[in-house]
């Protein structure tokens, strides 16, 4: 056990190793000997816990494989089964054809100069090429960096520079997002560089830009990359498979934290494969025949890439993507026309689906189950999904990007109270405990405290940020979620709030400091505090509380116009309230909980909270 702890400290403290994409040692945490575990092969029916510590014991071993090998086995097992359907784009791929495309794309990435351990940024909405790159990078040992498709110029530049991306893959544009145009502004050198040899002063590690649907100076078209993977690079790819490890990093996903700047959570093959395996087992993918999952959640989130993409390879499920963007109507159309049997979504997505004016006209009889995750889910919404959509086996999942992501999930067999009031029970091979936030001491069973997680699911760390990693993962391996919850004697968890001020708007994690820092650049703003206020549809909305400089005038429209095109659309405040003061503690700190209460009362939202 001591050696494992030493190994963990070395990994998380060694930013050079993370920058290089290497894992100095494999992790293998020992399980705590004290406290009683919960056997999770089936929903717990016997009370097993006597303390606020739960260990999900399982009859199933952890998987020791890579994502590329897992997809290859799926193609052998179900060659003619549909792996993915992109309804709006008219793309249909069987496991066999998808695997062939992945091998060509992976060899092509090697051909244009990418090497194992280097980072490739995927920037765009839910398209076939996104899924293709997810598996092609895994096959080639390249670490894919999931970029939010709504990122504006400064946000994209920060993320690409933070992790040192050598390549970026993106469409020319999507809706109002001009991806190539933004890259050209960040890297004007693209215009005079040969493809694959960009030399950028602002992004010194960037060499290659691959465009999905257009041709620009200094870039490759995706077709060129696919064609470049000839026999020599196919052989190189084949030889590489024996060198890849399940402990290698595979994905970097940016998540907001308490410092305001996004941090790159680094996940391994082991993290995502096992989470996908056990989540699929929990919801019944291993016994349900011909599962077809309607997947409207974004692939740049763990919910989509792990719960969707990796689950597809592990369990042989078929993924149905209604459209590149979210649309409640497109969801219902896809569920009906593609005979989906399962659906994923954030609470906001389910609100939209149940609120469609013609929802009763859809034949959703094929849909038997679903998962709600991404943000807190009101109990009434669970009941509405069952009564309006007829999805009786709806389940709630809970987790964080840093935990790959799911650590608690319900069962199709749970009763209504457990479905609506809890986030399910502890996942296989995962430990959870509830501690007092101020001293770290374990609280009595049923009491509220901070949720801590330990196990295979915990990320390697934040890329090139050992200090922030140490803040959330202790030397003993426990990850601090920052969420407040409690455990019952069966191992079910209730989420009761968040310690910090993170706003979750429709499943998007938004940190107020980032918006505050941006708004402070407005010449007329004296001070600004951003809080989340309750919203029936989005869960929370952003409220910017502003004091204006003396003798200056500012309107709500002025503030929103200032934000447009400079920060992501989902970070633009829904409410702008001008105030003369902020509620303060005796030491002069702003009381955000009190400010939130005041804003909800002023905006007429207090009853909803």
pLDDT band at 8 (very low <50, low <70, confident <90, very high): very low
pLDDT band at 607 (very low <50, low <70, confident <90, very high): low
pLDDT band at 438 (very low <50, low <70, confident <90, very high): confident
Has residue 602 got a pLDDT over 80?
yes
Has residue 199 got a pLDDT over 70?
yes
Which tokens hold the place of 567? 């920060």
Q: Where are the domains of the chain?
A: 102-255, 503-608
Has residue 179 got a pLDDT over 90?
yes
Encode pLDDT of 152-175 as tens digits: 999 999 999 999 999 999 999 999
User: What is the mean pLDDT of the segment spanning 500-509?
Assistant: 84
Question: Distance between CA atoms of 359 and 367, rounded to whole angstroms?
Answer: 14
Give the distance, in angstroms, between the CA of residue 337 and the centroid of all CA atoms in the same chain.
Answer: 28
Question: Distance between CA atoms of 68 and 245, rounded to whole angstroms?
Answer: 11
Which stretches does DSSP call E strand in 436-558? 449-455, 461-462, 479-487, 493-498, 503-505, 508-510, 525-535, 539-548
Asked whether the beta carbons of 126 and 347 are under 8 A apart, the reply is: no
Asked whether the beta carbons of 472 and 479 are under 8 A apart, the reply is: yes
Question: Distance between CA atoms of 583 and 601, rounded to whole angstroms?
Answer: 14
Mean pLDDT computed over every residue of the chain = 90
| pLDDT at res. 201 | 96
Gyration radius (Cα) of the chain, Å: 24
| pLDDT at res. 216 | 93
Encode pLDDT of 236-295 as tens digits: 999 999 999 999 999 999 986 434 578 999 999 999 999 999 999 999 999 998 999 999
Encode pLDDT of 25-49 as tens digits: 334 444 443 457 899 999 999 999 9
Helix (H, G, I), strand (E, B) or coil at 283: helix
Give the distance, in angstroms, between the CA of residue 469 and the centroid of all CA atoms in the same chain.
Answer: 18
Question: Distance between CA atoms of 255 and 405, rounded to whole angstroms?
Answer: 12
Identical fold at 102-255 and 503-608?
no
Q: What percent of the chain has pLDDT over 90?
A: 78
User: What is the mean pLDDT of the segment spanning 131-158?
Assistant: 96
User: What is the mean pLDDT of the segment spanning 482-502?
Assistant: 87
User: What is the mean pLDDT of the segment spanning 373-383?
Assistant: 84
Asked whether the beta carbons of 470 and 416 are under 8 A apart, the reply is: no
Which of 3.90.1150.10, 3.40.1410.10, 3.20.20.70, 3.40.50.980 is the CATH number of 102-255? 3.40.50.980
| pLDDT at res. 31 | 42
Asked whether the beta carbons of 279 and 408 are under 8 A apart, the reply is: no
Closest CA to 171 of 118, 132, 142: 132
Cis amide linkage into residue 240, ω under 30° from 0: no
Has residue 21 got a pLDDT over 50?
no
Residue pointed to by tokens 């001020």: 501
Architecture of the domain spanning 503-608: 2-Layer Sandwich (3.30)
Beta bridge pairs of residue 408: 398, 426
Question: Distance between CA atoms of 416 and 418, rounded to whole angstroms?
Answer: 5
Which tokens hold the place of 229? 């993977």
Closest CA to 529 of 582, 476, 455, 472: 582
- Relative orientation angle of helices 128-140 and 231-240, to the nearest 10 degrees: 70
Beta bridge pairs of residue 66: none
Asked whether the beta carbons of 188 and 217 are under 8 A apart, the reply is: no
Asked whether the beta carbons of 452 and 259 are under 8 A apart, the reply is: no
User: What is the mean pLDDT of the segment spanning 571-575?
Assistant: 96
Encode pLDDT of 395-434 as tens digits: 999 999 999 999 999 999 999 999 998 999 999 999 999 9
Q: Comparing 32-36, 204-208, 218-222, 583-587, which segment has the lowest mean pLDDT?
A: 32-36
User: What is the mean pLDDT of the segment spanning 70-85?
Assistant: 98
Q: Which helix (H) or strand (E) holds 130?
A: helix 128-140
């Amino acid at each position: 056990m001591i050696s494992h702890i030493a190994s963990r400290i070395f990994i998380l403290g060694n930013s050079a190793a993370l920058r290089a994409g290497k894992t100095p040692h494999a992790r293998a945490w020992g399980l705590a000997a004290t406290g009683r575990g919960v056997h999770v092969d089936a929903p717990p029916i016997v009370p097993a816990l006597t303390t606020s510590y739960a260990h999900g014991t399982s009859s199933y071993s952890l998987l020791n494989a890579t994502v590329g090998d897992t997809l290859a086995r799926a193609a052998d097992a179900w060659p003619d089964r549909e792996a993915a359907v992109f309804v709006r784009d008219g793309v249909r791929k069987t496991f066999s054809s998808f695997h062939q495309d992945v091998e060509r794309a992976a060899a092509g990435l090697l051909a244009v100069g990418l090497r194992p351990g280097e980072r490739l940024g995927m920037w765009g909405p839910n398209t076939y090429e996104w899924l293709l790159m997810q598996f092609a990078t895994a096959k080639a040992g390249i670490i894919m960096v999931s970029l939010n498709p709504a990122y504006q110029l400064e946000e994209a530049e920060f993320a690409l520079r933070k992790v040192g991306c050598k390549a970026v893959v993106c469409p020319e544009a999507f809706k109002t997002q001009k991806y190539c145009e933004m890259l050209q502004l960040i890297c004007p050198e693209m215009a005079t560089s040969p493809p694959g040899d960009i030399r950028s002063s602002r992004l010194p590690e960037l060499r290659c830009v691959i465009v999905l649907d257009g041709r620009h100076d200094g870039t490759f078209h995706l077709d060129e990359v696919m064609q470049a993977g000839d026999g020599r690079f196919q052989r190189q790819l084949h030889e590489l498979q024996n060198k890849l490890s399940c402990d290698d990093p595979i994905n970097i996903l940016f998540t907001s934290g308490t410092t305001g700047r996004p941090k790159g959570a680094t996940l391994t093959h082991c993290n995502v494969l096992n989470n996908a395996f056990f989540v699929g087992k929990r919801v019944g993918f291993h016994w349900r025949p011909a599962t077809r999952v309607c997947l409207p959640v974004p692939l740049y989130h763990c919910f989509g890439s792990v719960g969707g993409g990796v689950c597809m390879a592990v369990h042989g499920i078929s993924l149905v993507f209604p459209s590149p963007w979210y649309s409640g109507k497109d969801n219902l159309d896809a569920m009906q026309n593609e005979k989906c049997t399962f659906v994923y979504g954030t609470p906001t997505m389910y609100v939209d689906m149940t609120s469609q004016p013609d929802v009763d006209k859809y034949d959703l009889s094929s849909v038997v189950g679903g998962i709600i995750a991404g943000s807190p889910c009101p109990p009434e919404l669970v009941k509405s999904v069952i009564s309006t959509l007829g999805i009786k086996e709806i389940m709630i999942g809970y987790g964080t990007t840093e935990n790959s992501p799911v650590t608690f999930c319900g069962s199709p067999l749970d009763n209504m109270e457990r479905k609506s009031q809890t986030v399910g029970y502890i996942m296989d091979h995962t430990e959870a405990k509830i501690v007092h936030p101020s001293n770290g001491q374990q609280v009595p069973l049923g009491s509220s405290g901070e949720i801590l997680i330990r196990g295979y699911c915990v990320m390697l760390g934040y890329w090139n940020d050992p200090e922030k990693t140490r803040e959330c993962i202790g030397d003993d391996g426990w990850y601090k979620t920052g969420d407040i919850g409690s455990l019952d004697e069966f191992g079910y968890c209730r989420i009761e709030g968040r310690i910090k001020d993170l706003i979750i708007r429709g499943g998007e994690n938004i940190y107020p400091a980032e918006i505050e820092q941006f708004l402070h650049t407005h010449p007329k703003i004296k001070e600004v505090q951003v809080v989340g206020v309750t919203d029936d549809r989005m869960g929370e909305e952003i409220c910017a509380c502003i004091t204006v400089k003396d003798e200056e005038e500012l309107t709500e429209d002025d503030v929103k116009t200032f934000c447009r095109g400079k920060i992501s659309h989902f970070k633009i405040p829904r409410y702008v309230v001008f105030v003369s003061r902020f509620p303060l503690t005796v030491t002069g700190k702003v009381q955000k909980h009190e400010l939130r209460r005041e804003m909800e009362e002023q905006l007429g939202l207090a009853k909803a909270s």
